[in-house]
Amino acid sequence: MKKYLSVFVLMVFAGFMVGCGPKPGPTVEPEISAGTEDVANRAEPTETEDVGLKTEESTVEELPAIDLVVIHFDTDKATIRDDARDILKRNAELLSEYPEVKVIIEGHCDERNTVEYNLALGERRAAAAKEYLIRLGIDGSRLSTISYGEERPVSFGHDEASWQANRRAAFVLTH
Amino acid sequence: MSRPSITTAILLALTISIVHGPPAEAGKYGEIIASIKTGVFEPYRIGVDNFIVKDPTIPPAVKAVVTKISDIVRDDLEFTYLFVTRAPDPEYLKVFGVERLGLYDWEKLYVGYVLTGEVSSDENESIIVEYTLYSVHKRLKPAKLFSRRLRADQEDLRLLAHSIADDVYKKITDLNGVFRSRIAYSHRDSIGKEIYICDFDGHQPLRATFDKSIDVSPRWASADEISYTSYKRNNPDLWLLDMRKGENKRISSFPGLNSAAAWSPDGSRFAVTLTKDGNPEIYVFRKGAKKGKRVTFSDGIDSSPTWSPDGKYLAFTSDRSGTPQLYIMDVDGDNVQRLTYKGSHNDSPAWSPTLDVIAFVSRSDNGRFNIWTITTNGAYLKQLTSVGDNENPQWSPDGLHLVFSSNRLGILEIFTMDFTGKNVRRITWNGGNANPSWSPN
């Protein structure tokens, strides 16, 4: 995880744009004023620059080819369904075989509902999957969660089939 | 133009404001509301003359945009629905047999006010407008109310026109106009989402973030600052973009969600959804403070806080009852009360800045999402939209309009409407636009 983080830090200030700030208008005066007021009060844009330096990409150890299967959820729900129980059981067995592997559990939602609610719901789904894997004996320190809400769909239709495909928790291997 | 159906809705809001204390803007605002309550609302009628060129040496570039100024002023005033505007139609000129309408001619067109403007330029080729507002009346002599001169660079033409409209609006209604306010929103591109900002009427969209990541939920912390949630450091953290200083700071980066931020009306605090304690809960932070106060405690989702105008209460979404519903509590987390009971999915509350009314999203029986308003005592519900899915309502600073996203045209775009659901205007045109937020002024 760490090495990815350091690369992302570099991008923070790059390209940040200034000069789109508000331009306060003039104050109201009852009668005609002697002078002429400037509508825009432009501030000079400050230079922006890349704060980071490129770091060497360290060699990445290969991850074992484990196929952890995605689980799905009902609308508005974060409870583990019966079909997901079987999948999680198999995922847990695989994880027990490879104790060095860590997993990021991603919680996802369909496009309906607001961005904010879906972020919360995605987090609940990821947490529910994590909890279930812990109950099946997987060490919690190997499992982390992240919610992407509705931001990373796998199916792009606007129907129940697509929505069901997107209401999911996915398992991403990491070191 | 007549807008009779507005009356009932305003009446409703008005009744509420009287029962639950005065609106934030008293005075003339109260008078306007009262006139609506007692009968049919009479909009202000104003003749906006085409602005003319005074100076024969005016640069062609300035001369070419002169008529745009009066067009924008008319468009702004019409947007409010408090105004009906008239332009000097060629037909009128023919009837009166004049090249330009005089004040007595305007009076015959049943307007109460007339705005005229003369445009000149200076050595920098900037635009200088001298505009005058008159009152005209059948039985009284026309009177000059005020006159002003404004200058702007050519690129600030729209801002100049909006300033004139704000000025006229304030003079006549004693209310603060929203014509210089702006709207922030997220736009989906091939990589993720970035934050954009446009004028309240959709003009002049500008890209504000260049994160090549997922940036969502922009919210104005002040007229210069926008907070948003970004994945640019691999965790959904809360960032604060200061457009005046040109700074971009990470202000909340607890493991897990740092999302759905909302700023108190005075800008001193923000409420945010965190999952650091394992479950989406709402926390309140003083701006700049490292430690916040947890204010919700339930096993389910608590999210999407919004502040009451006086900063004493929060409304929010919770699924503690089994389905997402709206709740109101004291800002310290006490006295939690459920607000919505109708429907199995209510979310995205936005508390009006001027009235005790909350706009929110409800899933209808047909599975579509629509925008509703509810009074904070739960007594009155009103559905504002009915086409497509409509989400993320946010109020204009004067509380008379809402901005929201909708897929009613097949692609996701930002729209504005007045708080009765009328006067819908599309303000984005390129698809993939959502999560709007209206600047405080």
DSSP output for B287-347: TT-S--EE----SS-EEEEEE-TTSSEEEEEE-TTSS-EEEEEETTS-S-EE---SSS-EE
Domains of chain A and any CATH numbers: 74-174 (3.30.1330.60)
Across chain B, mean pLDDT equals: 90
CA angle at residue A102 from A164 to A120, to 5 degrees?
Answer: 40
pLDDT tens-digit profile, chain A (175 residues): 444 434 333 333 333 333 333 444 433 333 344 456 666 654 443 433 344 444 444 456 677 888 899 999 999 999 999 999 999 999 999 999 999 999 999 999 999 989 999 999 999 999 999 999 999 999 999 999 999 999 999 999 989 999 999 999 999 999 7
Give the HSE-up count for residue B246: Cα atoms under 13 Å, Cβ half-sphere: 13
CATH number of B5-173: 3.40.50.10070
Residue B355 and residue B364 in contact, taking contact as beta carbons nearer than 8 Å: no
Whether B56 has a pLDDT exceeding 60, the answer reads yes
- What confidence score (pLDDT) does residue A175 get? 79
Predicted confidence band at B24 (pLDDT cuts at 50, 70, 90)? very low
Residue B301 and residue A124 in contact, taking contact as beta carbons nearer than 8 Å: yes
- State which fold the B182-438 domain adopts: Neuraminidase (2.120.10)
| pLDDT tens for each residue of B378-390 | 989 999 999 999 9
| pLDDT tens for each residue of B277-301 | 989 999 999 999 999 999 999 999 9
Fold match flag (B5-173 vs B182-438) = no
> DSSP readout, B345-356?
-EEEEEE-SSSS
- What confidence score (pLDDT) does residue A106 get? 98
- What confidence score (pLDDT) does residue B138 get? 83
Whether B255 has a pLDDT exceeding 80, the answer reads yes
Quickly count: other Cβ atoms within 10 Å of residue B438's Cβ: 24
Strand ranges for chain A from DSSP E: 37-38, 71-72, 102-108, 143-149, 168-174
Chain B residues with CB under 8 Å of A114 CB are 304, 347-348, 361, 391-392
Contact across the interface for A116 and B304, Cβ inside 8 Å? yes
Ramachandran bin of A5, using left for φ above 0, alpha for ψ from -120 to 50, beta for the remaining angles: alpha
Contact across the interface for A119 and B156, Cβ inside 8 Å? no
- What confidence score (pLDDT) does residue A60 get? 60
Residue B180 and residue B156 in contact, taking contact as beta carbons nearer than 8 Å: no
Whether B360 has a pLDDT exceeding 50, the answer reads yes
- What confidence score (pLDDT) does residue A35 get? 56
Specify burial of residue B334 (Cβ count, 10 A radius: 0-12, 13-18, 19+).
exposed
- What confidence score (pLDDT) does residue A110 get? 96
Chain A residues with CB under 8 Å of B248 CB are 12-13, 16
- What confidence score (pLDDT) does residue B31 get? 59
End-to-end CA separation in angstroms for chain B? 28
Contact across the interface for B275 and A8, Cβ inside 8 Å? no
**Is residue B61 helix, strand or coil?**
helix
DSSP at A59: P
Chain A residues with CB under 8 Å of B170 CB are 28
- What confidence score (pLDDT) does residue A65 get? 81
Contact across the interface for A116 and B208, Cβ inside 8 Å? no
Specify burial of residue B143 (Cβ count, 10 A radius: 0-12, 13-18, 19+).
exposed
- What confidence score (pLDDT) does residue A40 get? 60
Domain-wise residue ranges, chain B? 5-173, 182-438
B205-230: average pLDDT: 97
Contact across the interface for B197 and A20, Cβ inside 8 Å? yes
DSSP at B155: G
As for the ipTM of the complex, it is: 0.86
> DSSP readout, B6-47?
HHHHHHHHHHHHHHT---SS-THHHHHHHHHHHS----EEEE
Whether B1 has a pLDDT exceeding 50, the answer reads no
Identify the residue among A44, A104, A115, A147 best suited for mutation to test binding to B, counting B beta carbons within 10 A and taking the highest: A115
| pLDDT tens for each residue of B163-183 | 999 999 999 988 899 999 999
**Is residue B372 helix, strand or coil?**
strand
Specify burial of residue A94 (Cβ count, 10 A radius: 0-12, 13-18, 19+).
middle
- What confidence score (pLDDT) does residue A50 get? 40
The structure tokens 């709207």 sit at B183
Predicted confidence band at B186 (pLDDT cuts at 50, 70, 90)? very high
Q: Highest mean pLDDT range out of A28-42, B135-149, B319-333?
A: B319-333
Whether B28 has a pLDDT exceeding 70, the answer reads no
Helix, strand, coil percentages (3-state) for chain A, rounded to 5, are 30, 15, 55
- What confidence score (pLDDT) does residue B40 get? 58
- What confidence score (pLDDT) does residue A39 get? 66
- What confidence score (pLDDT) does residue B6 get? 42
Contact across the interface for A120 and B235, Cβ inside 8 Å? no
